[in-house]
Amino acid sequence: CRSNRGKTMCIVNPPEPATHDCSLQSQSNFEGPTDPNIRPLHHVVWPRWQRVPQRAEAMATPSNALAALLLCFTASTRPTAAAPTVSAQDEADPGGKPWIHGWGSGSDMLWADFGSATLLTPEQVAFIGKTYSIVSLEKCTGQAQHLSTEAAYGILSAELKKVNPNVKVLFYWHATLEIASPDHPASACYDAGRTFLEHPDWWLRNDDGTRHIDGPFVYRNLSNPDVQRYMINTPVGVQVKAPQNFDGVFYDGAIQSPYVNLSLSRAAAQNAAVNQVALAMSEALEAGEHAVGGHQVIGNGFAQYHSGNPGFPADNGTGMVPWMDGICVEHFGAFEMTNASNCSLIPEHMAAMMGDIAGAAALNKTVLIKGWPGPVNGPIDQFGPTIPPACKMGNGGETYADRGAMAARWFEPTYALFLLVADQTVFWSYSWWYNVKDGYYPSNPNSNSSAPAEWYPMLDSAVGSPLGDATRVAGGSGWVYHRAFEHADVEVDLADYIHGTVTFHSS
């Protein structure tokens, strides 16, 4: 447990969340040592906690860990367990309030995360600025024009705001990995990265003294107070240059990592610092003299890798919820949630993810869901997207036209899957990968795109506000979910989701 704004927050897995004692507990109650050399930005007791393997099957039920989190955020201020007198937002949010969308049409709920080797064309800027409520500009954007990520962000955020002053533009900043190679300093995508490479003591080292790397890139040693300041000061520096165009940080890689070549205590300290930096970053962005308010630090994110993959934590990312303004769900309906044998999903994993999203939304967190055209389980390359053979259409997706046709075919079931968890703070993206040409605007004679030439007509129709949560109903495989909206009904069988439907009312 820890304190935040005078409230006690517990990350626990109680047998009965409704009766859990939320008083502060001693560090001895948790497994795992903490590194005495880390200088925490905020006091924290770092637990290593486990998710209960069998969770409630109902979509709207979050994991036991999130259920306990919800309870403890409000326990000290509510007269009964069922009637909180303050919102979870007041107690859980480390910075500003969540971003919300309306229910006028599907387009109101859209967000995007992409990069581009060059700056965007005027046509791309116009479409993206008008279409998306939130845009995250990825690392290395503008590199082919010898621009740093910071410089490209400054240019594009201003251009997008000129088209739509209300669009929120996020600065991409990885939580642990420096996008630069010590052996090739010119590879640094960020101006700040050149400074980082000048400080070998900032690099994360394995226990044997070698660099902790991912390909050519080196990890940051977040136990170093100078690195913590670097992590916070870099986005604050971007904010200072144009505060009216800066809306926050897309904090990639925020999920816990095993750091297999580090001791347990050093790995725990590194993971703890990821969360601590996020909270301090959010507070710094809000408190600075140039702040205009409403900034978000969005952590990426939730997953559904289970015990078979030791590279991801047992909590599947839910432990970061108290520390972030929002959460990204990057693999929604794809990757580890896919069933390659039948071109569909693993229902238990998908239902679990839906429950975690509902839990985060209940805590008033901004949630950014990355949707995919079908059960994608690998990156796009010269041979097309990596998806189970049963899902291949056309010529397999090797051309822009093929991928556009596949995206059009998969749009309705993927949109239906999202609508099962749609909430006022939950946004959705639909594309193949992370280049701007991977489906973030319609294909046209002047610029290829992996989206169809006719932008998805269903987005123009209003579903209206939801009339309740999604419910599991009888029929199909036993994993059929239904949800009613003011102007539409949604139905998806998680074991056969290509046949998911969004049916608009005739009126």
Residue 219: predicted pLDDT: 97
pLDDT in tens, 175-208: 999 999 999 998 899 999 999 999 999 999 999 9
Flag the least confident range among 2-11, 138-147, 282-291: 2-11
pLDDT in tens, 491-501: 999 999 999 99
Whether the pLDDT of residue 240 is over 70: the answer is: yes
Secondary structure (DSSP) of 139-205: TTTTGGGT--HHHHHHHHHHHHHHH-TT-EEEEEEESSEESSBTTBGGG-SSHHHHHHHT-GGGB-B
Per-residue pLDDT band for 396 (boundaries 50, 70, 90) equals low
Residue 397: predicted pLDDT: 75
Whether the pLDDT of residue 504 is over 90: the answer is: yes
Strand runs labelled E in 412-474: 426-430, 471-473
Residue 257: predicted pLDDT: 87
User: Do 359 and 66 form a contact (C-beta atoms < 8 A)?
Assistant: yes
Residue 383: predicted pLDDT: 66
Per-residue pLDDT band for 11 (boundaries 50, 70, 90) equals very low
Whether the pLDDT of residue 35 is over 80: the answer is: no
User: Do 111 and 427 form a contact (C-beta atoms < 8 A)?
Assistant: yes
Q: 483-491: long-range contacts at Cβ-Cβ below 8 A with a sequence spacing of 24 or more?
A: 483/419, 483/420, 485/103, 485/419, 486/103, 486/462, 487/461, 487/462, 487/463, 488/419, 488/461, 488/463, 488/464, 490/416, 490/419, 490/420, 490/463, 491/416
3-state per-residue secondary structure call for 260-311: CCCCHHHHHHHHHHHHHHHHHHHHHHHHCCCCCCCCEEEEECCCCCCCCCCC
What is the average pLDDT value for the chain, to the nearest integer? 81
Q: How far apart are CA 17 and CA 102, in angstroms?
A: 33
pLDDT in tens, 39-68: 222 222 212 112 222 222 333 344 444 444
Is the C-alpha dihedral spanning 189, 192, 197, 202 positive or negative? Answer: negative
Flag the least confident range among 75-84, 98-107, 120-129: 75-84
Other beta carbons within 10 angstroms of residue 496's beta carbon come to 18
Q: How far apart are CA 374 and CA 410, in angstroms?
A: 6
Percent of the chain scoring above 90 in pLDDT: 64
Whether the pLDDT of residue 26 is over 50: the answer is: no
Per-residue pLDDT band for 167 (boundaries 50, 70, 90) equals very high
Burial of 363 (C-beta count, 10 Å sphere; 0-12/13-18/19+) = buried
Q: How far apart are CA 262 and CA 212, in angstroms?
A: 9
Flag the least confident range among 254-258, 266-270, 379-383: 379-383
